[in-house]
A and B are shown apart, each in its own frame.
Chain A
């Protein structure tokens, strides 16, 4: 344990501006106080210091995890809103498609098409005037096929964001936050 040397000082030192000779003891006093504080710090038990540091690390970890959970929660909320919005958009598009298909069929209805053809100068053919030509291999119109063919590679794929680990999210978030603005 270090010895403490008491240095007397006047109580009026802070009330009036002292001379250069008077300033010297005050500086000395501050240095001595700092030394004392450092000495006290030095005197703290190592275990106590470790506890404080551990506590700080724990708090930082909790804060980090909480921040990440909040971040995730906000992302889920945003995605949820996007799902709602996309679903609504999908319904609207579906309705629009149905409307357009029906309108197209109305414009192509048998009566309208024939009326337009007659207006454009076409005539209904007299069966006696039909000329038949034999085309080898032609077996008539094929039956209509309304099956939906799914193009290769158009299968539904899950976004990687839904399968990555918590650590991956953390790293990605940190790297995004620390990226230069030009990269964002």
Chain B
């Protein structure tokens, strides 16, 4: 009996060893087979998944920390087609919540090929609607009596949101639903705002989960824009574009000391939460922000630059006089004043006060093309300013060395005709006069916040086209001219320097005799400028002259601006300065 047991034990051991060896052998065969690599790949695939993690897009704030662009959850709604049980019921639910036509949606689903597994219904469903669908999915999982919506997939993701809708839309630009940035700051700083997506391997096996690597979110931007001033500017623009019956209106308010743009707007604007309206509102891309993208002949506001050049080069002083006969001949071509009148003996302040073309033409000819165009070059005319708001036009100024250039060009250029500038270009150039002759780069981004650290962007000096004394003298001349004119633009208590510009519009057949472009520029307080206001109304029909049409607008804007910026009247402010000293 004992022998029999031993035999059985031996037999069992043999069988066990053989079976185990067979398993080992099979494992070895598999491990060394041709498909081993493929099996390993399959194993790895089920163990890990490759995920591209996109960081949250950085937010955009105004200079006081008010959010202008942020993020919010949106949902992608789709159908896992093989899992759909009640197609009609599901279609009804989707058409009700997502506001689709039932028949159209059903047709869309039916039109999918049989091999298709997933159908995207909408990639960017707003938060409330997405949440409603998620609640229905949760209800259907817990209650048998709930609507069968199996197959419905609702996936959250972050989308761009603009809490102030159309405010500062020309400056901000927007982000398309496909996350593509367009125009403005969104485009200019896209790489900084968007951050860098990373590709990571995420384990499906929880024992391999050792913490997730998430990419750092995109940097936040703090703009120089002041939300309250921007709103005031946009409302004023909308009102006066309508009242003056203009094609468009553009306004820029800048701190001439450091180039910070406090407000920038051009009509029309769009609600940035619905960028698909773009094509309904704008005919072309340049219209999106006329302040940087459209160039035009500025007219008499350009006389500030001509006078600055003349004073700085020393060919005249404010007291220099000349006899205005109503015309000035250059190489056989006469230049006339705006009213074709003769203004008699005029000093240089009178020249600016009465906006005399003849005076400006004389000054430019006296300077000669070399000096005159050299100053224009130093003022940056004909070059982009580098403003960080998107694609900027460069403007154009005739080249005196060109074979097409004629001496008469210098005469017309002196009062802002036959020369094209963008609004931001003329603002930058004239800011130099307000800022002791020092020209600084205009910009809208004040600081960048990356990984919780805020970095202020330094002021960029573009040059010193004129001497400080020239700048002070010219500011005083313009202020005096304004007082002499008893302009409606004056604001009680504040000494301001202003200049109007009414420019003829070139057409294919020559200058249009019936319509003008009207501009206005002014800054103050002239002893310590805190703001420079520029406005341009395109082809207004309500009035022929900028001095009539735009002076009240300037007055209204500056009256509000001094309150927003806490600038007391000169008497109080200078009194304070004296008492402090």
Contact B576 A134 (CB under 8 A): yes
Contact B210 A83 (CB under 8 A): yes
Q: Which residue of B lies closest to A76 (CB)?
A: B207
A102 and B161 in contact, given A127-B563, A144-B65 (Cβ under 8 angstroms) = yes
- Residue B67 interfacial (CB < 8 Å): yes
Per the bound structure, the CA–CA distance linking A69 and B421 in Å amounts to 77
Which residues of the partner chain A approach B576 to less than 8 Å between Cβ atoms?
134
Per the bound structure, the CA–CA distance linking A141 and B203 in Å amounts to 50
Per the bound structure, the CA–CA distance linking A108 and B62 in Å amounts to 13
**Dominant SS at the B interface?**
mixed
Per the bound structure, the CA–CA distance linking A103 and B72 in Å amounts to 9
User: Least Cβ distance of A135 to chain B in Å?
Assistant: 10
In-complex Cβ contact of B560 among A111, A127, A143 (8 A)? A127
Which residues of the partner chain A approach B59 to less than 8 Å between Cβ atoms?
101
Contact B70 A98 (CB under 8 A): yes
Per the bound structure, the CA–CA distance linking A116 and B359 in Å amounts to 53
Contact A110 B231 (CB under 8 A): yes
Contact B70 A132 (CB under 8 A): no
A147 and B209 in contact, given A130-B563, A134-B576 (Cβ under 8 angstroms) = no
Q: Which residue of A lies closest to B565 (CB)?
A: A140
- Residue A13 interfacial (CB < 8 Å): no
Per the bound structure, the CA–CA distance linking A143 and B456 in Å amounts to 10
**Complex interface: stretch among B14-22, B163-171, B505-513, B545-553:** B163-171
Q: Which residue of B lies closest to A84 (CB)?
A: B209
Contact A146 B220 (CB under 8 A): yes
Contact B453 A132 (CB under 8 A): no
- Residue A73 interfacial (CB < 8 Å): yes
Per the bound structure, the CA–CA distance linking A11 and B425 in Å amounts to 127
In-complex Cβ contact of B212 among A87, A103, A148 (8 A)? A87
0/1 interface trace, chain A 84-110, chain B, CB 8 Å (1 if under): 100100000011001101110110111
Chain B: how many interface residues by the 8 Å CB criterion? 54
In-complex Cβ contact of B452 among A80, A102, A148 (8 A)? A148
In-complex Cβ contact of B56 among A87, A98, A108, A141 (8 A)? A98
- Residue A81 interfacial (CB < 8 Å): yes
- Which residues does A use to contact B, with CB under 8 Å? 73, 76-81, 83-84, 87, 94-95, 98-99, 101-103, 105-106, 108-111, 114, 125, 127-128, 130, 132, 134, 140-141, 143-148, 150
Beyond A132-B569, A147-B452, A150-B452, 19 additional contacts (C-beta under 8 Å) are A83-B209, A83-B210, A87-B212, A98-B71, A102-B70, A102-B163, A106-B163, A110-B164, A110-B228, A111-B167, A111-B231, A114-B231, A127-B563, A128-B492, A134-B572, A134-B579, A146-B61, A146-B454, A148-B452
- Which residues does B use to contact A, with CB under 8 Å? 56, 59, 61, 63-67, 70-73, 127, 156, 158, 161, 163-165, 167, 203, 205-212, 220, 222, 227-228, 230-231, 446-447, 449, 452-454, 456, 491-492, 559-560, 562-563, 566, 568-569, 572, 576, 579
